[in-house]
Structure 1
Amino acid sequence: MTTTMTQSDSDGPRPARATMKDVARLAGVSVKTVSRVVNGEPGASTAVRQRVLDAAERLDYRHNLGASTLRRKDARSGIVGALLQDVGNSYSAGLLRSLEDALRPAGLSVLAASLDEEPERERGIVSDLVARRADGLVLMPATHRHEYLLSERRAGLPMVFVDRRPHGLDCDSVTVDNHGGAKLATTHLLSGGHRRIAMLSDLEEIETAVERRAGYRAALDAAGIEFAPELLVHSVRSDLEAARTVTELLDLADPPTAILAGRNIITVGTVRALRAAGATREIAVVGFDDFPLADLVEPALTVIRQDVQRIGAEVGAILLDRLNGAGGPPRHLVIEPTLVQRGSGEIPPRLPQRSLPRP
């Protein structure tokens, strides 16, 4: 049924919403019976249950979940808070959808928020969710230490860290091998003959960025390639900054022949800069994180893919286990990323490289 608001809808006083007493009167049952039916509790026959549901529909009754939460012994709200860095980013959006798919069959709704790498924002939102009696938390933290959650942890609030590990308390986490993924990407470029490989990275203090930079350097070390400081650029936060950085790298006296983009938004800016320079088929690119349309650009983008569907499903499964009373030590699941070759990462160097050792 669709209701369209007209001018008369807003002119008069707002009609009172139907209550359990109204439903009970129409259905010819007690208020307690209505309460059992709307809360999914046993004790009402099939015929009585249907009569209550029919009455509720006729009256457009909406159950007050918040009020019933205060009365129930288990004090469940049916809400899980998911604090991610940016729900507009394709990685966070995919993770959120997978988490919703995992929790919805259990009757749980996900309340999501973006943290934007702001620690105080994280603490404030966590405080709000706790006050609203959230059943659990999923955290992609902006904070670097997490002792502030110890009291909630002791109180039994289930929480799962995702993408970044907890520090200062021990609780469940699902992360990706960022070091291994960046090393895999760099090694792939090295195997294609590249020696001048640039990397564009996120903020210096972000744990995932630190691990990816370390993986990049580990691959260079393993190949006997001397690290060139001018080719590692950190604190790249947007596609515009990435495009500007790539343009500056291309202007170097000895420019890179390949680029490792440290996250999906950086990959977008990298492609834009290379297109503007007419160099999309001259500079090899591997992006960390897959994203929609990555396979449709020319050349299609080679990426290190994080399996966001699996990550969200694993987070949801752990959280449900904890909500259902599972004990035991915290679980720390590390998922291996994969290299997806599509063309951009397989472009050979434009010119013969100087006589440097091959990997």
Structure 2
Amino acid sequence: MLHHPAKLPQPRRPTMVDVARRAGVSLKTVSRVVNNEPTVGPELAERVMTAVSELGFRRNGIARNLRSQELSATIGLLIEEIANPFYATVAGVAAEIAAAHQTLLITASSEEDPDRERALLLELVQRRVDGLLVVPAGTDHSFLRREVEMGLPAVFVDRPPGQLLADVVLLDNQGGSRAGIRSLLDAGHRRIGLLLGSLNVYTMRERLAGVQAELSGSGIPYDEAMVRSGIAGPEQASRAVADMLGLADRPTAFFCANNRLTLGALQELHGRGSDAALVGFDDFELSHLMPRPLTVIAHDQRELARIATEQLFERIGGDRSWPSTTVLPTQLVHRGRR
């Protein structure tokens, strides 16, 4: 006779009622904390979060209670500006993968404004999205900690979060910049004009750090006269190049820290018929058709977006492993007509 082992009773999943009892608060207070309503004081919210942690209660479990045991089948994507082809590619790939998972993608743009970023992310949380993909603008994301600790998956793309432990997918910004500067130094250039965006942005700081490290390692002084930072787009980049070309000891080469700055520099150099060398971080569409030679620090934007989005869906599916940081390589590619 075959004996089948008796099935052990499964432990009961904690409920919001359990959380309320442990915290010594009402069920309504727990619901308000879960929904990030501002009407709950910090002391009560902390008691609820402590109870959630002690009971091993996950946000997704709470969300299912609140949504009739269904996920919302939506994820949120926060990017910097949809007009930039880099972020348009990220959004396109994320939408493709979301569709394959029968999930709707909600996309918003922070316009590099940390306050707008915070408001948009909290709005997405209020909409009970199943996960977040974030290209951060600010440096403090602790306002998401409560939701992340309760199980809301969040993956940060291109830049790490501030004061929050989460998955991150990055580019090798310093390595790419070092390789770009090294190529100019190897070609004999010593006066290199640097065009940078806002140094409040992580990628700009990392790319500048790579430039400085390579110059220092080669014994080349870092000359502030050769640096223009806070450049917002192609027009300002074009004017910055014109300004530096007017110096008595002008640059013989330029390094641009993103694709939009490269376009502005390219326009100015071509218009002047200048033979100054040009290296730019990020490839861009039709770069191979540009009327003069340039070198781009290329990377696989689609792969960056794919890894981040797939990781988010793994988290939504139940992966609770320790948050990871993935760094994608870059490579120098010669573009334009030679």
If the TM-score is normalised by the length of the shorter chain, which range does it land in?
0.7 to 0.9
Select 1:83's aligned residue among 70, 78, 86.
Answer: 78
1:306 is displaced (CA, Å) by 2.2
Select 2:217's aligned residue among 219, 222, 228.
Answer: 222
- C-alpha distance after superposition, 1:83-117 (max 9, x if no partner): 00011101001111122222221111211111111
Indicate how the Cα distance of structure 1 residues 216 and 311 shifts in structure 2: closer, same or farther if over 3 A, else same.
same
For residues 277 and 176 of structure 2, the distance between their equivalents in structure 1, rounded to whole angstroms, comes to 17
1:169 is matched with 164
Extract unaligned runs of 5+ from structure 2: 1-63
Which structure would you say has the larger Rg?
1
For residues 303 and 129 of structure 1, the distance between their equivalents in structure 2, rounded to whole angstroms, comes to 36
SS at match of 1:319: helix
Whether 2:316 is the aligned partner of 1:323: answer: yes
Residues 200-279 of structure 1 mapped to structure 2, 5 A cutoff: 200-279=195-274
1:330 is displaced (CA, Å) by 0.1
Kindly provide the amino acid, as one letter, of the partner of residue 181 in structure 2: T
- Asked whether the equivalents of residues 290 and 335 of structure 2 are also in contact (C-alpha less than 8 Å), the reply is no
Select 1:311's aligned residue among 304, 312, 330.
Answer: 304
For residues 132 and 182 of structure 2, the distance between their equivalents in structure 1, rounded to whole angstroms, comes to 37
Whether 2:140 is the aligned partner of 1:121: answer: no
Select 2:100's aligned residue among 96, 105, 123.
Answer: 105
- Asked whether the equivalents of residues 69 and 77 of structure 1 are also in contact (C-alpha less than 8 Å), the reply is no
Q: Return structure 1 stretches of 4+ with deviation > 4 angstroms.
A: 68-71
1:284 is matched with 277
TM score, norm. by length of structure 1: 0.74
For residues 83 and 160 of structure 2, the distance between their equivalents in structure 1, rounded to whole angstroms, comes to 22
2:184 is matched with 189
Kindly provide the amino acid, as one letter, of the partner of residue 329 in structure 1: W
Kindly provide the amino acid, as one letter, of the partner of residue 245 in structure 1: A
For residues 242 and 151 of structure 1, the distance between their equivalents in structure 2, rounded to whole angstroms, comes to 41
How many residues are matched? 275
- C-alpha distance after superposition, 1:208-230 (max 9, x if no partner): 10110111111111111122111
- Asked whether the equivalents of residues 176 and 334 of structure 1 are also in contact (C-alpha less than 8 Å), the reply is yes
1:5 is matched with none
1:32 is matched with none
- Asked whether the equivalents of residues 180 and 215 of structure 1 are also in contact (C-alpha less than 8 Å), the reply is yes
For residues 103 and 336 of structure 1, the distance between their equivalents in structure 2, rounded to whole angstroms, comes to 25
For residues 270 and 143 of structure 1, the distance between their equivalents in structure 2, rounded to whole angstroms, comes to 28
- Asked whether the equivalents of residues 193 and 251 of structure 2 are also in contact (C-alpha less than 8 Å), the reply is yes
2:23 is matched with none
- Asked whether the equivalents of residues 295 and 301 of structure 1 are also in contact (C-alpha less than 8 Å), the reply is no
2:292 is matched with 299
1:69 is displaced (CA, Å) by 10
% identity of equivalent residues: 35
- Asked whether the equivalents of residues 130 and 152 of structure 2 are also in contact (C-alpha less than 8 Å), the reply is yes
Whether 2:333 is the aligned partner of 1:340: answer: yes
For residues 260 and 119 of structure 1, the distance between their equivalents in structure 2, rounded to whole angstroms, comes to 27
- Asked whether the equivalents of residues 288 and 336 of structure 2 are also in contact (C-alpha less than 8 Å), the reply is no
